[in-house]
Amino acid sequence: MPSARLTDPTVVRETPARVRLPRTGAMRVPGIVFASEALLPPADALAQVANVATLPGLVDASYAMPDVHLGYGFPIGSVAATDVEAGGVVSPGGVGFDISCGVRLLAAPLGLPEVADHLDVLVDALAARVPCGTGPGAILELGTDDAALTRYLAGGAAYAVEQGRGEPRDLARCEHGGVIADADPDLVGRRARERGRHQLGSLGSGNHFLEVQVVEEVCDARVAGAFGLAVGQVCVMIHTGSRGLGHQVCTDHVEVMGRAMARHGITVPDRQLACVPVTSTEGRRYLAAMGAAANFGRANRQLLTEATRDAFAAALGQRELALVSDVSHNLATLEDHEVDGTTRQLCVQRKGATRALPPGHPELPDDLREVGQPALVPGSMGTSSYVLVGEPGAPAFHSTAHGAGRALSRHAARRRFPVADVDAELRRVGVVAHARSRRGLPEEAPGAYKDIDEVVRVSQEAGLARPVVRLRPLGVVKG
């Protein structure tokens, strides 16, 4: 269902990389969109930015990243922070259906010459070990073992490593050490569990992918060295989330909050913005269930990491792949930030936005404290991806873009880009593509997305984050 509009918002350009939507009507704060003229989204997405600005307890602004586009209630590419003690709300639409959808980057001790002649074999080995596509099919088929599922919902990637599915160092480079500690698996409903027990260790479909890449350009040698990246190095990027389990958790809590809003005296301009106070019973239960789904998503990426290592061992004779970073871009977290000169606890909801902590932030692991957090920003299929790093004093609560951002709907992309043309373009740029269903390739064609180079340029110009390395795709596995 399309988002309800307040009006077509007025847009005031403040800088070449930033526009403002002034407060009007029920808006409590302005909207801020980080976008050049080329990246400015259509009016329907801008209306969603304005709608989010009406939510109780919102502070500073309703933010939109350079890759922003139309979403469910909240636009994809949005950041909204609410003051917990001042009645601030949490909304499932501010996190999205694919809870903890995120990106993981692995770095191999191999250069392109060592991989180039074996690329077809490597992509085939990855495709054979990585379940993908819609529906069930997973590395870890849990069947009726509900207790095992509960342990993954509670322990996330940390539990997977404990079970021998990874390395302790993996957790040091994963947000929150790979596990959200205050998650409550008991709040994940029966239907969500049924969907998750057959999908733990799977890629999914749509824009999810596993991609073999090479570091083609280093923009900051000191930071790249701290991240463990160098020109010519082969890497693997994994993009997926909590699959059907997370989708069902979101669906369940949208319904609960939709019924509860009247009791809390909350009205919203779009029912997709269903929300409740963070401190309410419904709000606390959602965050605990969301945490469990996020743990599932992180465990999912951890299992895919081990499958990737196994594929490298089979194709290239070595499985050493170091985790550079694992970041979620669909999550709500309680964070302390300064608001009007006072430190406040905020519920920061990032939907299609990546946290990018600056140098010196206390949540960074010791080996990254001096340089900042790697923020992973994948491009569209066949185009470059980037690793960015957080900037001191960045706006939008240390957030940046999460990818290229759609320029066309999936339906419009299928109409515009024939499968044969997409195949030909991938071959032209030297990308080996293995897709379970090639009919879905047009949805992910480069022309269906915004220009990733422009997204990164604007992110840097707006002070959100700056580029560290640019990666070129070599081979991709998709559903």
In a domain, 6, yes or no: no
pLDDT at residue 21, rounded to an integer: 98
Nearest to 462 by CA among 65, 2, 30: 65
Percent of the chain with pLDDT over 70: 98
Average pLDDT rounded to a whole number, residues 81-98: 98
Predicted confidence (pLDDT) at residue 1 exceeds the cutoff of 60: no
Confidence of residue 2 (pLDDT cuts 50, 70, 90): very low
In a domain, 325, yes or no: yes
Residues designated as active site: 402
Angle between helical axes of 281-316 and 119-129 (0-180°, round to 10): 140
Report the domain count for the chain: 1
Average pLDDT rounded to a whole number, residues 47-72: 97
In a domain, 364, yes or no: yes
pLDDT at residue 9, rounded to an integer: 79
Output the pTM of the full model: 0.95
Residue-averaged pLDDT of the chain: 95
pLDDT at residue 7, rounded to an integer: 52
What Rg do the C-alpha atoms of the chain give, in angstroms? 21
pLDDT at residue 153, rounded to an integer: 98
pLDDT at residue 3, rounded to an integer: 39
Task: Output the domain CATH number for residue 56.
Answer: 3.90.1860.10
In a domain, 291, yes or no: yes
- CA 413 vs. chain centroid, Å, equals 22
Predicted confidence (pLDDT) at residue 250 exceeds the cutoff of 70: yes
Tell me the longest C-alpha to C-alpha distance in the chain: 64
Predicted confidence (pLDDT) at residue 276 exceeds the cutoff of 50: yes
Nearest to 249 by CA among 205, 305, 184: 184
Confidence of residue 248 (pLDDT cuts 50, 70, 90): very high
Confidence of residue 441 (pLDDT cuts 50, 70, 90): confident
Predicted confidence (pLDDT) at residue 6 exceeds the cutoff of 70: no
In a domain, 3, yes or no: no
pLDDT at residue 460, rounded to an integer: 98
In a domain, 223, yes or no: yes
Average pLDDT rounded to a whole number, residues 83-110: 98
pLDDT at residue 443, rounded to an integer: 86
pLDDT at residue 128, rounded to an integer: 96
Report the residue count for the chain.
479
- Which residues are bridge partners to 473 per DSSP? 213
Which tens digit of pLDDT belongs to each residue from 325-346? 999 999 999 999 999 999 999 9
- Between 433 and 321, the more confident residue is 321
Which tens digit of pLDDT belongs to each residue from 161-220? 999 999 999 999 999 999 999 999 999 999 999 999 999 999 998 899 999 999 999 999
Which tens digit of pLDDT belongs to each residue from 66-88? 999 999 999 999 999 999 999 99
36, amino acid identity: S
pLDDT at residue 341, rounded to an integer: 93
Domain that holds residue 97: 12-478
274, amino acid identity: A
How many Å apart are CA 273 and CA 3, to the nearest integer? 9
In a domain, 2, yes or no: no
CA distances (Å), origin 50, targets 54, 146, 269: 7, 42, 10
How many Å apart are CA 474 and CA 235, to the nearest integer? 10
In a domain, 59, yes or no: yes
Predicted confidence (pLDDT) at residue 471 exceeds the cutoff of 60: yes
3-state SS track over 401-429: ECCCCECCCHHHHHHHCCHHHHHHHHHHC
Burial class for 237, CB neighbours closer than 10 Å (0-12, 13-18, 19+): buried
Which tens digit of pLDDT belongs to each residue from 204-244? 988 999 999 999 999 999 999 999 999 999 999 999 999 99
